[in-house]
Structure 1
Amino acid sequence: MKQLLYTAVLSICISAFSFAQEAVEKSAPPAGNAVVGDYYGADVSSIAVEKAVSVENLENKFNDQKKVENIAVKGEVTDVCEKRGCWVTIKTENGSSFFVKMKDYAFFVPTALKGKNVVLEGTAEKKITSVDELKHYAKDAKKSQTEINAITLPKEEIRFVASGIKVVN
């Protein structure tokens, strides 16, 4: 009898966890106005804000390596995932841009972050993004089917995994 009760309780717990996980995956971006001082994920220290580099300087940090860890980068948010707030695109001072995901999908950002200046803390990596992945992100960004169909080649780019994002000036 105890074994039957144990099995029933375990089944209920697993079902509840699955339901909760599915609800999180289908949720909308968090609400919020993304005002100066707001942060998402880990708080970005004031030292990191002061020492944040532009993407131009980030390029120089790579040297012969493909990855730069524990770096702070500044820029303007030009796009936010409309579905969940699980990625952003950052434009830098020279007009180039790069793609940012949240570390371990541990946090999401509001769509109000679009147009704001931010400092990101995390890891930058040079990588080639597949056509399928590029199309997936274009679909998340609610691009037109024509724009999505125009994606036919993989793209070499800097990808950033943020442990924290802070709104600045």
Structure 2
Amino acid sequence: MKKILFVFSLMAIITSCKNEKTEEKPTAEVEEVAMNYQSFGTEISDDNVMTNTEMTEKYKNLKPGDTVNVKFASTVKDVCQKKGCWMNLEMGDAETMVRFKDYGFFMPKDIAGQEVIVSGKAYVEEMSVEDQRHYAEDGGKSAEEIAAITEPKRTLAFEADGVLIPEVEKQ
């Protein structure tokens, strides 16, 4: 059973990295996790999920170097448009930069505006100007917006080991 799930996970990763628009079909793994979610990374459930507001409060108490294992829901602000290797989640007045454990999976590039559930490690980091510019370029920002980045900033970060995306009803 684990081998079958591994094969399905691998297939999902490979198909989500393609630049082609294809219609995704539910797999056996999705049905086992939750009938109404696409699952990426480690299998997680939608139990005991913190709200965006609760997670924002947790971030306020973190200092650089601190980490906390959590599972929370938030809305996707944007996704790496090159291959889906990161996404930003809305966190009140801020945002959380989500990367994926060991780059083991990627997100579909068209999920901005959707609510997702992420599970993994939350932390705070000081992001360099170079890294900020790199992510801005991957996110499709203009040359002017990229050039305007001139100082390191404190960022809310998250290393996800699993993500759930609600399935979109087909019409």
TM-score normalised by length of structure 1 = 0.72
- Summarize the alignment of residues 128-139 of structure 1 with structure 2, pairs less than 5 Å apart: 128-139=126-137
Identity %: 29
8 Å CA contact retained: 1:90, 1:98: yes
* Residues paired across the two proteins, number: 140
* Rounded Cα–Cα distance in structure 2 between residues aligned with 1:58 and 1:29: 36
The answer on whether the counterparts of 1:32 and 1:112 sit within 8 Å (CA) in structure 2 is no
What residue number does 1:104 align with? 102
Q: What is the CA distance between 1:70 and its match in structure 2?
A: 2.2
Q: CA deviation at 1:114?
A: 1.4
SS of the counterpart of 2:37?
Answer: coil
Give the Å deviation of 1:86.
0.2
Q: CA deviation at 1:97?
A: 1.0
> C-alpha separation between the residues in 2 aligned to 1:79 and 1:32?
21
How far, CA to CA, are the matches of 1:29 and 1:156 in structure 2?
Answer: 32
Could you say which residue in structure 2 is the equivalent of 1:126? Answer: 124
Q: As a proportion of its length, which structure holds more helix?
A: 1
Q: CA RMSD in A?
A: 2.7
Indicate how the Cα distance of structure 1 residues 126 and 65 shifts in structure 2: closer, same or farther if over 3 A, else same: closer
Match of 1:7 in 2: none
Q: Report the counterpart of residue 143 of structure 1 in structure 2.
A: 141
Query: Structure 1: which 5+ residue stretches go unaligned?
Result: 1-23
Q: CA deviation at 1:28?
A: 4.4
For residue 110 of structure 2, what is the amino acid of its counterpart? A
Unmatched segments (≥5 aa) in structure 2: 1-13, 27-35
